[in-house]
């Protein structure tokens, strides 16, 4: 996806803010899907974050807007009732001039404006283990806060989002079609995935058998999707609410481990630098279980290591699929970016397998 041109950005801003309010805007953050801008305003206005929602990834924009609006209103009320600060502890959608909480331009592109949370930071890599513990607690609490959200009101913004077997099927289709002739280059990676095919089914099978409960989950719990207070260091707010849907608790746990407990970056080209930090794994287990506050079942807790492995394998599968399809889904900085990402995910899966017994022991210790 290419970044937007200025004319479209300015038109979108006009739909929300009066003339003269906007001073400047610039690209912001490291998301792989939407276009995100920081908006600086004239005196008397706060700063804003403008986003163009990626309509190719989110094909049902109505469902997405519905979910984000309902969830933010629900959280706002909860935060007010518990004496928190609703302007800092949840995203606040700023209404467009027509009163809607989003704006659709004449090309059908959808935009939203949220208040920027001042004095906040987010991290692309763990700097202090304590922060990772806090993020675990934050995502755990977030899941617990949504425990009594009426799940039937949520629409699936991306169907089968964490259905790993379906992701595997999509990979097979991409190999079969091989539109760019790249499949020959990724045989090692395809073998790696094929050896784990049976395991890829575990979580979805348990869901079908009723052994793991469906909950309202975030589904994209990367460390850079949680904001910290720059002064106190405390967790402020969970962001990137586009994939909030019914899901499994182990997805949220697992995706955080995939991203945050990796000693290398998600796109580290030198796979020797990629490994699972057991220290960080332990921090997150402790934080997440504390945050969930006893709401997880015994089986869910037991399955946490598997959640980490599945989310990492699945993300690798998704990157590899996108590589084969010509990088049409995730934003990339160079042609092989998705392949590099896939390799780094698979290296992390392999390291989790080496450290499996220790992962299980750590979870048992906090269960």
| Residues forming the site for ligand GN1 (CB under 6 A) | 31-33, 57, 220, 222, 225, 240, 242-243, 266, 315
The residue written with tokens 């467009």 in the block is 96
Nearer Cβ to ligand GN1 (53/283): 53
Q: Residue 266 has which token pair? A: 């998600």
* Closest separation in Å from C-beta 193 to Mg ion: 25
Q: Which does 274 bind (CB under 5 to 8 A by kind): Mg ion, ligand GN1, none?
A: none
User: What's the burial of 225, exposed, middle or buried (CB within 10 Å: 0-12/13-18/19+)?
Assistant: buried
* Closest separation in Å from C-beta 148 to ligand GN1: 25
Q: Which does 267 bind (CB under 5 to 8 A by kind): ligand GN1, Mg ion, none?
A: none
DSSP 11-66: HHHHHHS-TT-EEEEEE-S--SSSEEEEEEE-TTS--EEEEEE-TTT-S-HHHHHH
Nearer Cβ to Mg ion (31/307): 31
Nearer Cβ to ligand GN1 (322/362): 322
* Closest separation in Å from C-beta 68 to ligand GN1: 13
Scanning 68-76, 239-247, 289-297, 347-355 for contacts with Mg ion by CB under 5 A, the matching segment is 239-247
Nearer Cβ to ligand GN1 (225/249): 225
b/e map of 24-51 (b: 16 or more CB within 10 Å)? ebeeebebbbbbbbebebeeeeeebbbb
225 binds Mg ion (CB under 5 A): yes
* Closest separation in Å from C-beta 170 to ligand GN1: 13
Half-sphere exposure of 93 (CA within 13 A, CB side): 24
Q: How far apart, in whole angstroms, are the C-alpha atoms of residue 351 and residue 118?
A: 38
Of residues 147-186, those binding Mg ion (CB under 5 A): none
Q: Which of 35, 240, 267, 322 binds Mg ion (CB under 5 A)?
A: 240
Q: Residue 345 has which token pair? A: 């995910």
Scanning 27-35, 150-158, 273-281, 296-304 for contacts with Mg ion by CB under 5 A, the matching segment is 27-35
Q: How far apart, in whole angstroms, are the C-alpha atoms of residue 38 and residue 51?
A: 9
């Amino acid at each position: 996806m290419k970044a937007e041109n200025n004319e479209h950005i300015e038109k979108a801003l006009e739909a929300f803010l009066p003339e003269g309010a906007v001073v400047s805007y610039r690209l912001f953050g490291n998301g792989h899907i939407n276009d995100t801008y920081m908006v600086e305003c004239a005196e008397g206005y706060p700063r804003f974050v403008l986003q163009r929602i990626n309509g190719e990834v989110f094909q049902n924009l109505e469902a997405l807007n519905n979910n984000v609006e309902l969830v933010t209103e629900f959280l706002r009320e909860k935060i007010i009732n518990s004496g928190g600060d609703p302007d800092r502890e949840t995203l606040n959608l700023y209404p467009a001039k027509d009163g809607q909480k989003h704006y659709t331009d004449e090309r059908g592109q959808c935009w939203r404006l949220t208040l920027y949370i001042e004095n906040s930071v987010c991290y692309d890599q763990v700097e202090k283990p304590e922060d990772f513990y806090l993020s675990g607690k934050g995502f755990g609490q977030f899941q617990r806060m949504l425990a009594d959200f009426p799940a039937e009101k949520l629409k699936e913004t991306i169907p089968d989002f964490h259905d790993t077997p379906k992701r595997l099927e999509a990979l097979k289709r991409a190999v079969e079609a091989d539109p760019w002739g790249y499949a020959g280059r990724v045989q090692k990676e395809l073998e790696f995935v094929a050896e784990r095919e049976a395991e890829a089914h575990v979580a979805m099978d348990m869901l079908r058998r009723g052994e793991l409960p469906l909950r309202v989950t975030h589904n994209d719990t990367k460390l850079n999707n949680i904001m910290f207070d720059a002064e106190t260091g405390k967790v402020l707010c969970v962001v990137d609410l586009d994939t909030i849907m019914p899901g499994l608790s182990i997805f949220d746990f697992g995706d955080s481990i995939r991203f945050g407990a990796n000693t290398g970056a998600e796109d580290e080209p030198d796979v020797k630098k990629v490994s699972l930090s057991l220290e960080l794994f332990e921090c997150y287990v402790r934080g997440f279980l504390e945050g969930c506050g006893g709401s997880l079942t015994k089986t869910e807790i037991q399955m946490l290591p598997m959640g980490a492995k599945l989310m990492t394998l699945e993300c690798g599968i998704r990157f590899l699929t996108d590589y084969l399809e010509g990088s049409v889904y995730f934003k990339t900085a160079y042609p092989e970016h998705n392949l590099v990402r896939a390799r780094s995910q698979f290296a992390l899966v392999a390291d989790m397998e080496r450290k499996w017994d220790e992962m299980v022991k750590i979870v048992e210790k906090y269960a």
